[in-house]
Amino acid sequence: MVVVAPSLLAADFCRLQEQVSLVEKAGAEWLHFDIMDGHFVPNLSYGADVVRQLRPYSKMFFDVHLMVEEPLNFLPMFESCGADLVTVHYEACSDLRAVINYLHKRNIKVGVSLKPQTSEQVLEPFLDDIDNILIMTVEPGFGGQSFMFEQLSKIKSVTDMVGERDICIEVDGGINLKTAPLCVANGADVLVAGSAVFKAPDPAEIIKQLHESGE
Ligand code: DX5
Ligand code: ZN
């Protein structure tokens, strides 16, 4: 079954704990945290303390998406915040191998994300060493954007490239009840959804239907 990862970026920041419980009770397996530095992307969000403070309140798998330049410099801040997985951007790393080693040494899973214009081929040399590939289906930086349909073929290519390896394929940006089934049909295992979940009148119902898009 497909995993649903609500993105906290679209939650009501005045009621974070309540919103996290709501999506957890509705069956979301992962919680997606978008960390932005105002350099790699033209926006700021929040930092490791938000992840750390929510950790005691949830058993969900904490999925941290770092949209920051040179993530190696930020990893000391994130290694003890309770993240299960830290995903960095291929484009932001001068030494991706060092990032992978740093996180694995601390028993944190490693993901690599690709902006829409970045070819999946760049990941070939790292396939035996990563746990997650995050395919951006919008330009990173903001929630609420429209899904880029041309990324569907990339999802398929990544699925073929990964083959039998134990790597999750995660999609992020513009995921809703219309686009989720297309992503799943092309091989996505994890659906990140911000606006579609948190801006809905009934987030639990959307989570249920996103799960059904994988059946
Ligand atoms: C965008 C972030 C996404 C964002 C998705 O840079 O990586 O995780 O929260 O938001 P929606 O689902 O609203 O497109
Ligand atoms: Zn994200």
- Domains of the chain, residue spans: 3-212
Annotated active-site residue 160? The verdict is no
Q: Are 65 and 114 in contact (CB under 8 A)?
A: no
- Tell me which amino acid residue 114 is: L
- What average pLDDT does the segment 99-117 reach? 98
Query: What is the CA(38)–ligand 1 centre distance, in A?
Result: 15
pLDDT over 70 for what percent of the chain? 100
- What average pLDDT does the segment 47-65 reach? 98
Q: Can you say whether the dihedral through the CA atoms of 68, 70, 74, 76 is positive or negative?
A: positive
pLDDT at residue 215, rounded to an integer: 80
Q: What are 50's two structure tokens? A: 């938000």
CA angle 29, 23, 130 (to 5 degrees): 30
- What average pLDDT does the segment 171-196 reach? 98
- What average pLDDT does the segment 113-130 reach? 98
CA 175 – CA 197 distance, rounded (Å): 9
Q: Are 96 and 88 in contact (CB under 8 A)?
A: yes
- Band (pLDDT 50/70/90 cuts) for residue 203 is very high
- What average pLDDT does the segment 71-96 reach? 98
Q: What are 104's two structure tokens? A: 């694995």
Q: Is the pLDDT of residue 214 over 90?
A: no
pLDDT at residue 143, rounded to an integer: 98
- Band (pLDDT 50/70/90 cuts) for residue 141 is very high
- Band (pLDDT 50/70/90 cuts) for residue 102 is very high
Minimum mean pLDDT range among 88-92, 199-203, 211-215: 211-215
Q: Which of 37, 63, 131, 172 is catalytic?
A: 172
Residues with CB under 6 Å of ligand 1 are 7, 9-10, 32, 34, 65, 138, 140-145, 172-175, 192-196
Closest-lying ligand 1 atom to the alpha carbon of residue 141: 6
Q: Is the pLDDT of residue 162 over 90?
A: yes
pLDDT at residue 3, rounded to an integer: 98
pLDDT at residue 21, rounded to an integer: 98
Model-level pTM? 0.98
Q: How many helices (H) and strands (E) does the chain have?
A: 8, 8
Query: What is the CA(199)–ligand 1 centre distance, in A?
Result: 12
Q: Is the pLDDT of residue 183 over 90?
A: yes
pLDDT at residue 43, rounded to an integer: 98
Angle between helices 203-212 and 16-25 (to 10 degrees): 40
Please say whether the structural domain 3-212 has been given the CATH code 3.40.50.2000: no
Closest to 117 (Cα-Cα) out of 94, 136, 131: 136
- What average pLDDT does the segment 19-27 reach? 98
Q: What are the φ/ψ torsions at residue 37 (nearest 5 degrees)?
A: -110, 0
CA 22 – CA 206 distance, rounded (Å): 12
Q: What are the φ/ψ torsions at residue 137 (nearest 5 degrees)?
A: -105, 15
Average predicted confidence (pLDDT) for the chain = 98
